[in-house]
Amino acid sequence: MNDATSNPETLVQYQVWDRTVRLFHWINVLCVIGLIGVGLVILNGKALGVSTDGKILLKTIHVYIGYVFALNLGWRIIWGFLGNRYAKWAAILPFGGAYKKSLSQFVEKTKEGNPPHYLGHNPIARLMVALLFLLLSLQAVTGLVLAGTDMYFPPFGQTIAEWVAEDPSKAAEIKPYSQENVNPDSYKTMRSVRKPFITIHVYAFYVLLGAVLLHLLGVVVSELREKSGLVSAMFTGKKVFHENPIDLDEQ
């Protein structure tokens, strides 16, 4: 590989993000946009005059997008142990003595007006990526629980239906928003158990919105400052630099 320091006017290209990471990123983007759009309509259903049947349809769409979202996220979590060095959790999560040292150096150099360049995520970006993964995981887990308590969908729907059914042998016949074959006391208990999950799901949703906006702002600022092809790298997998990235020697 060429040494970027040999000629500061020369752009040197480096392969960073593998195909799995890039696919995860764009599938996740599409899913999050879809989930946010449908979720906002569901949350404002009364104000928008959405009927019960309409709400069931919207929640069904939300759940199916959620399945794609959760499967995609689950595969990315696994890939954090199998992928290249930039995909691995050791290069993403903001933990350990080496990370603290790199964060301190990054802040110091940035204050001096000479922020170091990274092939992978810089120390500040790692904080944001960790927050995003935490919020995405919270949304996936709580969403799957809510799919069972609201719509009786897998993976928990059958268990929930048997819990609230007057006749557990006919639990599969219970329909969303229907009280037929539903025991009122069991249903009330189930809904109380559901409450913390919906609370986490809604508040994490709003935090996620804010985090996504900060993430986009960070990408724009980094792209303008570093001109390393940060955005295009999520399509091609490659970044470009005028000088050697600080983490080049870690390869």
pTM: 0.90
Nearest to 196 by CA among 151, 238, 155, 138: 138
pLDDT tier, 115 (very low <50, low <70, confident <90, very high otherwise): confident
Average pLDDT rounded to a whole number, residues 108-126 = 88
Is pLDDT above 70 for 250? no
Whole-angstrom Cα distance, residue 234 to residue 95?
A: 24
**Does 56 reside within a domain?**
yes
Q: How far is C-alpha 225 from the chain's CA centre?
A: 25
Give the Cα separation of 74 and 6 in Å (integer): 42
- Domain residues for the domain of 21 are 11-245
Residue 1 resides in a domain: no
| Residue corresponding to tokens 């928008």 | 48
Q: Which pair of structure tokens corresponds to residue 111? A: 């204050």
Residue 250 resides in a domain: no
Over residues 203-247, the pLDDT tens digits come to 999 999 999 999 999 999 888 887 888 899 999 999 998 878 887
Whether 81 is in a domain gets the answer yes
Distance (Å, whole) CA 153 – CA 89: 32
Q: pLDDT (tens digit, 9 = 90+) per residue, 134-163?
A: 999 999 999 999 999 999 999 999 999 999
Q: Average the pLDDT over 108-125 and give the result.
A: 88
- Residue 164 has phi, psi (to 5 degrees) of -90, -10
Using CA atoms, how far residue 189 sits from 144, 205, 221, in Å, is 19, 25, 49
Residue 30 lies in a domain: yes
Question: What average pLDDT is seen over the chain?
Answer: 91
63: CATH: 1.20.950.20
C-alpha distances (whole Å) from 33 to each of 27, 29, 121, 125, 139 are: 10, 6, 23, 21, 13
Whether 191 is covered by a domain: the verdict is yes
Instruction: Report whether 121 contacts 129 (CB < 8 A).
Output: yes
Instruction: Give a yes or no: residue 4 inside a domain.
Output: no
Amino acid at residue number 95: F
Q: 217 in a domain, yes or no?
A: yes
Return d(Cα 144, Cα 154) in angstroms, integer: 8
Structure tokens at 64: 């199916």
Domain count, the chain: 1
Task: State which amino acid sits at residue 184.
Answer: P
